[in-house]
Amino acid sequence: MARNTTYDELVVGATASLVRQITANDLWVFANASGNLNPLVLPSFDPDGDGHSDAVAPELWAGALISAVLGNQLPGPGTRHLAQTFTFPERARVGDTVTAQVTVKAKRGEGRATFDTRVTTTDGRVIAAGEAEVIAPATRIDVPDELAPPVTVVRHQHIERLMKACAPLEPLATAVVCPEDAASLGGALLGRAHNLIRPVLIGDVAKIREVARAMGASLDGLELVEAAGAFPAAEKAVSLVHQGAAQAVMKGRLHTDELLKPMVRKDGGLRGVRRISHVFVMDVPGLPELLLVTDAAVNIAPTLEDKVDIVQNAIFLAQALGYAQPKVGVLSAVEIVNPAMQSTLDAAVLSKMAERGQIVGGFVDGPLAMDNALSLKAAQSKGITSLVAGRANVLMVPNIEAGNMLAKELAFVAHAEGPGLVVGAKVPIMLTSRADDDSTRLASCAVAVLEAHFRRTGKSAVPST
């Protein structure tokens, strides 16, 4: 509850302040609200191309903090801001912590008061200074906290965190199968440009060169391996992995089943100790962390035995992405065990198997409906007491239809970015799509790099979540 200070209660010398750390979202929201799209004040401003923003906070963003102190604290609710002067001696950037402070300077009668105003950084730099004149409220006003609706900024800061974690890691030698169109070849070259992968291009070499020429792209320094057709190209990728010449595989212009067929063979393929499965790594605007969805691309109607491997694969990938003990919500349409619904029986068994140590590295609970998997309030309203309910990092879906619909709804309705990875094989397999944009392709490479690092070292390169 915010309570104001009336004009009669104002005392010369009284102060109030707020402390705020500048975030990229602050700059994006201010840009949209003000219409000020000067590149200098946008988080994407990076003139030297070093991958770090050189943007500064807009001067009047700092000024708005003064308005917040006057309107919320001193004098507080009911204050009318009449005039304001400002100088801006210094600049602040994303990551800086600033303090906005107002001090009562004089009371001029008829409700009018002046304030000294200043915004400073923690190291003492003054980024805004001036004087405000207000009409202070004459009567007591109490205002409930959090009147404003929440604002969701459509940007993918969790993926950005993964990209940063890849910076010190070596790029993966990656067998790119049939990069014979601009989308797939462009994705491979983009991953190379960001030092995430070292592509080995497998397919119709003449066609690959023709696509590169049409794109105006250089293939200098890249290894090209001739293969006549999709299946032979996928087989050559498997061979390169066995030879140690490739540490990952990336899908090009071919169907997923053509890519995976030689990789899932029992003899000579890339099968690991568990069943191969797919995980979407979803960065959903508004959610506080990444959300993993499995399996939405490989296993059509998994059995209970299959689901054990799918859950275990997802847990290990989540650990690679910085989750020390991931929380897996096993989804169904309801949150109670119903013998007529096989997905609820499977969920209950998976939960008990995790409890008994047959699934390791995370917490597993189900059945959970979508709402009580992600919303603590929804879980509490149903009386569900669980380490997972309302806090799930990983969503295990009952079948490929449910998973595919969920992932695409998150991408096209909730504006999520969703790189995906096939896990459980001897190396990570990137299933890029022609519908993926550049940022999703890069994110797929980053997830593969982090998974390979975790597989090799047993440690995540991402700060723990």
Q: How does pLDDT run across 106-156, given as a tens digit for each residue?
A: 999 999 999 999 999 999 999 999 999 999 999 998 888 766 777 777 778
Residue 120 lies in a domain: yes
The pLDDT assigned to 76 comes to 94
The pLDDT assigned to 153 comes to 74
- Taking residues 434-454, report their average pLDDT: 90
Among candidates 423, 395, 173, 445, which has minimal Cα distance to 293?
395
- Taking residues 39-47, report their average pLDDT: 86
Q: Are both 273 and 400 inside the same structural domain? A: yes
Is the pLDDT confidence value at 51 over 70?
A: no
- Taking residues 63-77, report their average pLDDT: 95
Percent above pLDDT 90 for the chain: 85
Q: Are both 120 and 11 inside the same structural domain? A: yes
Q: Are strands 126-135 and 112-121 parallel, antiparallel or unpaired?
A: antiparallel
Residue 273 lies in a domain: yes
Residue 149 lies in a domain: no
Q: Are both 217 and 322 inside the same structural domain? A: yes
Q: Are both 123 and 177 inside the same structural domain? A: no
The pLDDT assigned to 147 comes to 66
List the structure tokens of 259: 């890519």
Domain boundary among 143, 169, 195: 143
Q: Are both 201 and 125 inside the same structural domain? A: no
Structure confidence by residue, pLDDT tens digits, 207-224: 999 999 999 999 999 999
Q: Measure the CA dihedral 151/157/158/163, to 10°.
A: 170
- Taking residues 334-351, report their average pLDDT: 96
The pLDDT assigned to 156 comes to 81
The pLDDT assigned to 142 comes to 85
Percent above pLDDT 70 for the chain: 99
Residue 369 lies in a domain: no
Structure confidence by residue, pLDDT tens digits, 293-310: 999 999 999 999 999 999
Q: Are both 42 and 74 inside the same structural domain? A: yes
Q: Are both 129 and 173 inside the same structural domain? A: no
Q: Are both 121 and 162 inside the same structural domain? A: no
Residues 46-55: contacts with CB within 8 Å, 24+ apart?
51/167, 53/24, 53/93, 53/94, 54/93, 55/27, 55/93, 55/94
This prediction has a pTM of 0.82
Domain count, the chain: 2
- Name the band, by pLDDT with cuts 50, 70 and 90, for residue 177: very high
First to last CA, the chain: 32
Q: Are both 246 and 316 inside the same structural domain? A: yes
The pLDDT assigned to 433 comes to 77
Sheet with 277-282: strands ordered across: 223-226, 197-203, 172-177, 248-251, 429-430, 420-423, 277-282, 291-294, 394-396, 327-331, 363-368
Domain boundary among 109, 143, 177: 143
Residue 317 lies in a domain: yes
Name the residue range of residue 80's domain: 2-143
Domain boundary among 110, 143, 176: 143
Q: Are both 136 and 162 inside the same structural domain? A: no
The backbone torsions φ and ψ at residue 41, rounded to the nearest 5 degrees and listed phi first, read -110, 15
Is the pLDDT confidence value at 7 over 70?
A: yes
Q: 205 or 54: which carries more pLDDT confidence?
A: 205
Q: Are both 176 and 278 inside the same structural domain? A: yes
Residue 339 lies in a domain: no
CATH code for the domain of 65: 3.10.129.10
Structure confidence by residue, pLDDT tens digits, 316-337: 999 999 999 999 999 999 999 9
Residue 399 neighbours by CB under 8 Å, 6+ apart: 300, 301, 302, 343
CATH code for the domain of 437: 3.40.718.10
- Taking residues 31-53, report their average pLDDT: 84
Out of 39-53, 84-98, 404-418, pick the least confident. 39-53
Give the Cα separation of 99 and 232 in Å (integer): 63
Is the pLDDT confidence value at 158 over 80?
A: yes
List the structure tokens of 139: 């009567």
Is the pLDDT confidence value at 315 over 70?
A: yes
Please identify which residue in the block is written with the tokens 């007591």.
Answer: 140
Residue 346 lies in a domain: no
Residue 36 lies in a domain: yes
Q: Are both 318 and 440 inside the same structural domain? A: yes
Give the Cα separation of 233 and 453 in Å (integer): 26
